[in-house]
Amino acid sequence: MKRVRFTLLFILTTIAIFAQADASDPAYRMEQVRSNPAMRWGEAASASKDEAREKAKEDFLTKLNTTVVATMHEENDNFSESLTAITVATVNNLKEIVYQVDGKWCCMVYISEGSLRQAEDDRKESILEMISIGIRQEGQVNIAEALKYYTWALRMLNLYNDKVNVDVDGISYNAKSWLSTHIPAVLSNISLSINPEKIVENPGEYEKYSVIVDATYDGRPVSVLDISYFNGESAVGPVHCKNGEGVIQFHDLSMFSNINLKVIYDYVNEGRNYSPELAAAYGKGFKKMPFNKQAAFRLPLRYNGAAATPNPQYESYNFVEPDEGSEVIILTCNLSEAEQKTVATPIFTKPRNTIARPTEDLEKYIMSIENVEKAIRAANYESVRELFTPEGFRIFELMMGSGKVSVCSKTPTYTVEHTGNFIVGKSIPVAVKTKRHISKENIVFRFEGESGKIKSVAYALTKRAEDDIFREAQWSYDSRYALLQFMEDYQTAYSLKRLDYIESIFSDDAIVIVGNVVGKKSKRMYEAKDMKNFSMPTNVNYTTYTKDGYIQHLKEDFASKDFIQLVFDDTYISKVGGTEAYIDNEVLWIELKQNYYSSNYSDKGYLALQINMKPTGSMINVRTWTPYFVPMAQLKKSFPIGIQKN
């Protein structure tokens, strides 16, 4: 009996040893993958390890594309019939087996069908999210963002051939057909024009001519639109048009009888950083979008009542790359004529009703603004020092030194808004140029009541963001102007790199959360738990800073950038509770869609601030940034901080 037991134990031990040996043998593992019907794989051998790996990937793609069908059969759950064409770049967890034998490298790459199905589902979700964002931004006349996300979604659909349906106003469309019709319609509904009365000459500047470009979408001033142009020496862009206007600058207009402009609709660099799947769509030799004709504008130019003597070199310069001879994405549209007409209709969100502003014609304040305008035109800032408080003039000097600042209107119109606690002068339109970046801003002025001097200046918010603050609601004027001034100062502080101001507006125990997207986008909906365990999407890296840590982070960030521009829109405001009046310490949340531009980085996301609106100096208790919209109720639940004492 003992002998039998020993024999059985020997046999079992021997089998286990051989099984372990087989499991560690790469050739055996490859055979296991080949024999598994749930696996997709490719293999190759070469004298070079890297070459074997690349050839294995090519073999993987060839086999995949010849064995799967790009059509979804919903009635049949057979995965091999529902897969779509896929590139290696879309598969983040592609596994490999590689080993060397007889002087050659053997490589196998493989993945399970379940992982491929998940990759396809994730792409479809990402495409639908892009289209949803585009529709929302178009509705708010943010055409730059709308075109960006529409184009990205179409690029994804073109590369992967995923079958995606999108619901628009209760009607289901094939997403590729919808985008193929809607994107050129969006571009066709953009109107750019130049009014000769809006050409300003600033003799003291090298680029002494500032030309205002009026930009509308189906007759409405755009909230944001990006354009580019040729200034006679080089291509310039992006130029950010805000509130229906953009500024383009020239050293000499005498050789231009026409100006060629292009609406930017394809954001290549941002797309490559958005997700691995979208980066693959911008891979080597990526195809061009076929919208150059709709995006091109040739505007006649007349200055001082006369047309220029054209320079053939400038006149022939066309900012539109020809489609002929280039690889261009082929649009597919299977919509009926009636559907195409519906899809081509612009999308607008009904604007919120706003309250009237308490405007007055206070001559002494308007005269101060007019004198500042003259000082900017002459670049003689010292001449208006006496119109400012010491702190006000310090901020004004920082603003004038942040780039080449020039007045971009011949005859600006000024107004003054006056409440019991606020006197606001509006506004000097200026162009701010930093290297090749140009932004159009409006400088607003805040006056002291007793002295009548300018105590601070800032760049105005977009009209949409300002209208959101002045929407119809039971809320005092002083509270609205306090929030408006706070957000204008916040936005401007980043443009002027004012670390001192930013440090002053954060409470000592402020919670500062900064997020960075990593990897692919994930589902947008998530639940925030509590302040200590703030639950965010897992594909976003969140760093929580102390006040001092955040200021140090900003200091390093500011040092690496030539310019920073924040543009806010899509604003949500909610009170924490307590009292109603600004003078009694009102605590509120404000969440804004933030467009962040800089010389070496840009992103879009949602900035949320919990602010204690104190008359002695409003303070930020909480600051969060996420690429996703966070419901206001979740913010309040996650950060239950109440009213702070004076």
pLDDT, one tens digit per residue, over 293-342 is 899 998 888 776 555 566 666 655 555 555 554 577 878 788 888 889 99
pLDDT higher than 80, residue 541: no
pLDDT tens digits along 269-291: 888 877 778 888 887 778 888 89
Cα distance between residue 354 and residue 490, in whole Å: 23
Confidence of residue 375 (pLDDT cuts 50, 70, 90): very high
Range 398-424 average pLDDT: 89
Residue 254 φ/ψ, nearest 5 degrees = -65, -20
Q: Note the pLDDT of residue 452.
A: 92
Q: Where residue 586 falls among pLDDT bands split at 50, 70, 90? A: confident
Higher-scoring residue by pLDDT: 605, 547:
547
pLDDT computed for residue 57 by the predictor: 86
Q: Which amino acid is at 117?
A: R
Share of residues in the chain with pLDDT > 70 (%): 82
- In this structure, what are the phi and psi dihedrals at residue 138, rounded to the nearest 5 degrees? -60, -40
* Secondary structure class of 589 (helix, strand, coil): strand
Helices (H) and strands (E) in the chain, counts: 18, 27
Neighbours of 86 (CB within 10 A): 26
Q: For 98-107, 128-137, 364-373, 529-538, which range has the lowest pLDDT when averaged over its residues?
A: 529-538
Instruction: Name the average pLDDT for the chain.
Output: 81
388 vs 18, which has greater pLDDT?
A: 388
Rounded CA gap, 501 and 619, in Å? 11
Instruction: Render pLDDT for 342-353 as a digit per residue (tens, 0 to 9).
Output: 999 999 888 778
Tell me, letter by letter, the H, E, C secondary structure of 331-382: CCCCCCHHHHHHHCCCCCCCCCCECCCCEECCHHHHHHHHHHHHHHHHCCHH
- Cα separation, 321 vs 335, whole angstroms: 28
CATH topology of domain 28-116: Endonuclease I-creI (3.10.28)
- The Cα–Cα gap between 397 and 29 comes to 70
Look at the pTM and tell me if it is higher than 0.95: no
Domain 357-460 annotated CATH 3.30.70.1380: no
Those residues with Cβ within 8 angstroms of residue 161's Cβ, 6 or more apart along the chain or in another chain: 70, 84, 85
Residue 373 has pLDDT above 50, yes or no: yes
Confidence of residue 457 (pLDDT cuts 50, 70, 90): very high
Residue 512 tokens read as 């500062």
Of 126 and 205, more confident: 126
What is the C-alpha to C-alpha distance for residues 436 and 446, in angstroms, rounded to an integer? Answer: 31
Please give the distance of CA 189 from its chain centroid, rounded to a whole number. 22
Domain ranges across the chain = 1-27, 28-116, 156-343, 357-460, 471-646
pLDDT band with cut points at 50, 70 and 90 for residue 524? very low
Identify the residue whose tokens are 């605590």.
587
The Cα–Cα gap between 116 and 94 comes to 10
Listing DSSP states for 506-546 in one string gives EEEEEEEEEEEE-SS---S------STT----TTEEEEEE-
User: What was the pLDDT predicted at 43?
Assistant: 95
Q: Which residues pair with 15 in a beta bridge?
A: none
Q: Is the pLDDT of residue 487 over 80?
A: yes
- Give the per-residue pLDDT at 214: 95
Q: Do domains 357-460 and 471-646 have the same CATH topology?
A: yes
The pLDDT value recorded for residue 572 is 82
Residues 406, 209, 381: CA angle, nearest 5 degrees: 25
> What is the reported pLDDT for 168?
93
- H helix intervals, 25-112: 26-34, 49-67
Q: Name residues whose C-beta falls within 8 Å of residue 549's C-beta, 6 or more positions apart in sequence.
A: 512
pLDDT band at 14 (very low <50, low <70, confident <90, very high): very low
Distance CA 238, CA 138 (A): 19
pLDDT at 35: 92
Of the candidate ranges 442-446, 491-495, 580-584, 636-640, the one whose mean pLDDT is the lowest: 580-584
Distance between start and end Cα atoms, the chain: 90
Are the C-beta atoms of 171 and 347 separated by less than 8 Å? no
Cα–Cα dist 264/431, whole Å = 20
3-class DSSP state of 194: strand
State the CATH class of domain 471-646.
Answer: alpha beta
> Which DSSP letter does residue 607 get?
E
Whether residue 187 has pLDDT greater than 90: yes
The fraction of the chain above a pLDDT of 90, given in percent, is: 35
Per-residue confidence (pLDDT) for residue 365, from 0 to 100: 94
pLDDT at residue 585 in the model: 66
pLDDT number for residue 385: 97
Residue 607 contacts residue 626 (beta carbons within 8 Å):
no
pLDDT for residue 58:
85
Across the range 221-238, mean pLDDT stands at 88
More confident residue, 481 or 308: 481
pLDDT of residue 645: 43
Query: Which helix (H) or strand (E) element contains residue 107?
Result: strand 104-112
E strand or H helix at 312 = helix 312-316
> In the prediction, which pLDDT does 98 show?
94
User: Is the model's pLDDT at 530 over the cut of 50?
Assistant: no
pLDDT at res. 76: 38
Q: Which residue has the higher pLDDT, 266 or 233?
A: 266
455 pLDDT more than 90: yes
Which pLDDT band holds residue 93 (cuts at 50, 70, 90)? Answer: low
618 pLDDT band, cuts 50/70/90, is: confident
Task: Note the pLDDT of residue 78.
Answer: 38
Q: pLDDT per residue over 125-152, tens digit each?
A: 889 989 998 998 899 899 999 999 999 9
The label of the residue with tokens 């949340």 reads: 589
Q: Tell me which of 390 and 476 has the higher pLDDT.
A: 390
